[in-house]
Amino acid sequence: MRRSVFPVAALAAVLCLNMCLAQDEKPKPTPPRALPDIKIPLEEKPDVFAVPEGNDTTELRLFMNRLANTPPQQQTPEGIREHMAKIIKALDVVMTREIEIEVFHHAAQLSLSAIDFYERFEGEGTAEMRKGVMDRLRKDERPETQKLVARIELQQQIRNMDTVPEEDRMALVQQTAAMIRDAGDDEALQEGLELSMMTAEILEGMGDYPNAAKASRLVAAAISARNDDRLAKLVERLETEARRLDLPGNPIEIKGSTVDGEEFDIASLKGKVVLVDFWATWCGPCRAELPNVKAMYAAYHDKGFEVVGISLDEEMEDLEAFLEEQQIGWVTLIDKKPENLGWNNPIVRHYGVSGIPTVILVNQEGKVVSLNARGPELGRLLGELLGPLEAPAPPAEEEAPAPPAPEPTK
């Protein structure tokens, strides 16, 4: 329906006429004219959750894309739960129809993702929801669907790795590595890579470092066997991560230059307990942990505790100002060569550090005892290694302010 333009055109004509007359005579007062009150109806926004009629593949794909890209109107737990519940209900309608297999698979996977979010925000009945989706998939006897079922079940096993006996965990890693080796196209390869990386990350998060290191090496070998140049950097990353995950119980090598340009070797601190802290001034979690590190340093330094900071900063002025402002008394290392700043720091690359803060605690013998000595865990470990404090540790200071520097991307 076209909108009438008469009121605007009429108003323009009146203004033009008045301007022309003003050139020949003084304007005469005219009574005010009331413009017609025309109400233009606003178009109502379509219901994002309304499933289109029919089974047209393109229309259903567009519908599901809108579902996936529409954020909740209310960014509260209740609002998110309600939003996800509507998505789940709409996708359930889609899956009941006679649709193409790709659309069916897309709806099932999107529904499972929505159920995960619904559960994360304390939604109830998620076990029944998942069972409903999986039952629909299992009833479809097409080979492609059964392959999807096997992949989803493997993914669920990986997510519940903490319930898997330690001796069975590597079997899951081997399955994901086999997916990489056997992948016939890029889509299958991407699925294998995602599941393999997830497996290694979950094992590390559980503190199962031996199996996490084995997983990284096994996945790296599977990728290397494909001789795909596109994945060369990923292989290197996995191998360096395995080196870091192998550190517990073994020595760590840390050599470099301090902010003042002096050479440093962690071997010079043998006989002391050392916290190796990978950090940066732009890193919020690093700044949040700094008061705890400073408190532990003040409490345990005289008993033999040292800290070695490895900065991932790219701006020396920001780093130097921060160290002075916070009165950091321990050694801070940084490679000032432009090509070695930030995530390109040789020590960072050597140990496959992919997120900060990464903190590694080394005992008096120079061997690593923890890859996650943060918060209360740092105090507990220091108590074990250096003995209890005679007096409580001083309270942690407030979070250090951040300099106005943008966070670099890796």
Contact indicator for 176, 196 with CB cutoff of 8 Å: yes
Backbone angles phi, psi at 291, to 5 degrees: -60, -35
Neighbours of 147 (CB within 10 A): 12
Contact indicator for 238, 219 with CB cutoff of 8 Å: yes
Distance CA 167, CA 176 (A): 16
Q: Looking at residue 269, what is its pLDDT?
A: 96
Contact indicator for 169, 198 with CB cutoff of 8 Å: no
Q: Looking at residue 139, what is its pLDDT?
A: 94
- The full DSSP string for 138-202 is HH---HHHHHHHHHHHHHHHHHTGGGS-HHHHHHHHHHHHHHHHH--SHHHHHHHHHHHHHHHHH
Q: Which residues contact 353 (CB under 8 A, 6 or more apart)?
A: 244, 278
Helices (H) then strands (E): counts for the chain: 14, 7
Q: Looking at residue 166, what is its pLDDT?
A: 85
- pLDDT, tens only, 269-293: 999 999 999 999 999 999 999 999 9
- How far, in Å, are 159, 173, 174 from residue 168 at the CA level? 14, 9, 10
**Ranges of residues in the chain whose predicted pLDDT is under 70:** 1-45, 391-410
pTM for the predicted model, two decimal places:
0.70
Choose among 135, 69, 61, 48: nearest CA to 104: 61
**How many degrees, rounded to 5, is the angle at CA 33 between CA 27 and CA 35?**
135
